[in-house]
Structure 1
Amino acid sequence: MTIPTVDVHAHVLLPEIEALVSGLPGLAAARELDARRNGPDALAVSGPMVRERIPRMTDVAVRLAAMDAQGVDVQLVSPSPSHYHYWADENTAEKVYRLANEATAAHCARAPERLRGLGLVPLQHPVLLVRALGHALDQGLAGVEISSHAPGRELSDPAYEPFWSQAEEAGALIFLHPFGCTLDERLDRWYLSNTVGQPTENAVALSHLIFSGVLDRHPGLKLIAAHGGGYLPTHIGRSDHAWSARTDAGAGCAHLPSSYLRRIYFDSLVHDPRVLGSLIEAAGADRVLLGSDFPFDMGVDDPVGALRAARLSVADFDAVRGGNAAPLLRLA
């Protein structure tokens, strides 16, 4: 059987979400925080960059043409992380996730053989999570996308336990994609908010899931970490040492932290073939999935070429290119 090429990190822009939250209390403060975190130089570049790419994120025909040019057969499409809106109250948050789930499903339904979708859940309101994930699955979506934390809550928060249980039982995919870094103004120049902030947030969030025992309690959870899991997979030795040397570090999880890397899926978007090789060595070739961050400028225009540059064996190349993702997405 021919192995499809599957990109698990691609985004859809949903203007109807922004129309929904426009003018609501809390939006202005959230945008001010985002502006402080990124800095004026980054915002001056990001605005035109996103506007130029809107057709690729909203028009299915344009998306498919771009996929053809990349040699990608199937995309797993998730909403732009700018749609999280974790500042929203319960009423607004419910409207946001319902609209995001329905709009993403409708986008993917225009090319069902080539597009699979992920929805959103409001991490800021744990009481809504089970209902929100159920709604996403009811729309035919494969799971949901979440950030690395919500205001005042880490992913280790016990309030999330029903959500993890439901996701595990349903076989839902959980795509961990950070948006914003709490280092704030320390990263407001040279686009450090993204280049340093994103991999930091990935590492912190995954560490919370590992050290708190979430992955012990939910061994069947299908978690995909964007950006190759950030700094954690290539610096996991420090975590292993702390787990062995300190009672506080080892109190929450049953096994060596590095062993949990083989329970997590990672996308291949690390921008360096040597780092990709190290990720595969740490997690296993069967836990790495092709990812491009389509169509943003911090992604790669040729994800298959970037994978080829790692000089993997044929078996490992085909596994990462699509063999690992195909069963996760239940591709025929």
Structure 2
Amino acid sequence: MTAPTIDVHAHILLPEVEALVDGRPGHAEARALDARRNGPAALAVNGPMVRERIRVMTDVSARLAAMDAQGVDVQLVSPSPSHYHYWADEETAEKVYRLTNEATAGHCSAAPDRLRGLGLVPLQHPDAAVGALEHALEQGLSGIEISSHAPGRELSDPAYEPLWTRAEETGALVFLHPFGCTLDERLDQWYLSNSVGQPTENAVALSHLIFSGVLDRHPALNLIAAHGGGYLPTHIGRSDHAWSARSDAGAGCAHPPSSYLKRLYFDSLVHDPQVLRELVRVAGADRVLLGSDFPFDMGTDDPVGALRAARLPDADFHAVRGGNAAALLRKD
């Protein structure tokens, strides 16, 4: 039987979460930082762009109609990264993840044969992360979505070991999707904050997980990297060279960095068929999943067409189109 077409990179917008945090201590400062990082020109475009797409991110019938138009059978729905709110204190953070998890689960429950969901955990409060993961799974969600870092903490921080352990034990999916880039005002023109910032953040976060040995300690972690893993997969040779040439680079992980790409999953959203072919080559056709970034303008309206443009062998095409994701979702 042919596997369904599964898009693992699709978002939901939750206005109730933004209403919850509005006016809370730290919220205004976080918005100001986001504004500095993006720049005024980007913010002027972002507002209308999101407003045009609110319905398909909030209304299940509109989402399903859009999926039908794209030829997508199933979406793995993750909260808009704007809902992370890693600035929030512990009490507010708990309210955020509970509301987000419950609202996302409610949205997906309206079409359970076509929508699966991911929740959030407060990375800024590592001691609360396992509880948040458990809450997401209790709602029937398939796992969690995380950013590339939290303020003052990289994903290699030992404080996250309990989270990786529990995610591995439960088979939960962990979707790595950056929000914001710490290069700040260097990227505040021409939407460099996204076009350059997002793949940079992906590469940095994945490098922390690889070089620190997190993936040695948690080999069964089901981690999906958005945006094809950013710059790392196409430049992994430099990481391998550093690992073999320098004692400091090779101290934390047991194997060449390139070998860990075959332990990770990547979405197909790279906007270039040749880059997608290279991603399949270095990670393996069994480790790439269809992704669209639905419904944002930095995504693709035709994820299957973008995959077809890579001219993969037929078996690889169908694995990426849905076979790999179907197997992964059966494991969660």
TM-score for the superposition, normalised by structure 2: 0.99
Alignment correspondent of 1:290:
290
Partners in 1 of 2:242 and 2:328 — Cα distance?
Answer: 33
Q: What is the aligned partner in structure 2 of residue 232 from structure 1? A: 232
What is aligned with 2:175? 175
How big is the alpha-carbon RMSD for the aligned residues of Structure 1 and Structure 2?
A: 0.6
Find the aligned partners of 2:89 and 2:245 in 1 and give their Cα distance: 43
Measure how far apart 1:127 and its partner are. 0.6
Find the counterpart in structure 1 of residue 318 from structure 2.
318
* Counterparts of 2:279 and 2:8, CA distance in 1: 17
Q: Distance in 2 between matches of 1:285 and 1:330?
A: 18
Partner of 1:118: 118
Given residue 252 of structure 1, which amino acid in structure 2 is its aligned partner? G
CA distance in 1, matches of 2:276, 2:7: 16
Distance 2:2 2:208 in 1: 38
Distance of 1:2 and 1:174 partners within structure 2: 26
Aligned length: 331
SS of 1:282's partner is helix
Q: Tell me the alpha carbon deviations over residues 59-86 of structure 1, each in whole angstroms, 9 at most, x when there is no partner.
A: 0000000000000000000000000000
2:209 aligned with 1:209: yes
Structure 1 segment 42-191 matched on structure 2, within 5 A: 42-191=42-191
Give yes or no for the alignment of 1:39 onto 2:39: yes
Code of the aligned partner of 1:129: A
Q: 1:289 Cα shift? A: 0.1
Partner Cα distance (2:70, 2:249) in 1: 44
Aligned-pair distance for 1:282? 0.7
- 1:149 maps to a residue whose letter is H
**1:274-327 CA deviation, whole Å, 9 max, x = no partner?**
000010011000000000000000000000000000001110000000000001
Deviation at 1:198, TM superposition (A): 0.1
Name the amino acid aligned to 2:55: P
Give the Cα separation in 2 of the matches to 1:13 and 1:158.
31
| 1:199 equivalent in structure 2 | 199
Letter in 1 for 2:106: A
Q: Percent identity?
A: 84
Residue 118 of structure 2: SS of its match in structure 1? strand
How far apart, CA to CA, are the structure 1 residues paired with 2:190 and 2:71? 32
In 1, distance between residues paired with 2:127 and 2:270?
34
1:78 aligned counterpart, secondary structure: strand
How far residue 330 of structure 1 moved from its aligned partner, in angstroms, is 1.8
Name the SS of the counterpart of 2:330 in structure 1. coil
Q: 2:78 and 2:120 mapped to 1: Cα distance?
A: 8
Counterpart position of 1:246: 246
Question: Please, which runs of 5 or more residues in structure 1 have no aligned partner?
Answer: none
Match of 1:182, SS state, is coil
Give the match's secondary structure for 2:251.
Answer: coil
CA–CA distance in structure 1, aligned partners of residues 39 and 130 of structure 2: 36
- Which digits, 9 at most, give the CA deviation of each residue in 1:183-214, with x for residues without a partner? 00000000000000000000000000000000
Cα distance in 2 for residues equivalent to 1:329 and 1:108: 14
Partner AA of 1:135 in structure 2: H
Taking the aligned partners of 1:68 and 1:325, their CA distance within structure 2 comes to: 18
TM-score, length of structure 1 as denominator length: 0.99
Query: What's the CA shift for 1:328?
Result: 1.2
Q: What amino acid does structure 2 have at the position aligned with 1:222?
A: N
CA distances 1:125-177 after superposition (whole Å, capped 9, x unpaired): 00100100000000000000000000000000000000000000000000000
Whole-Å Cα distance in 2 between the matches of residues 24 and 32 of structure 1? 14
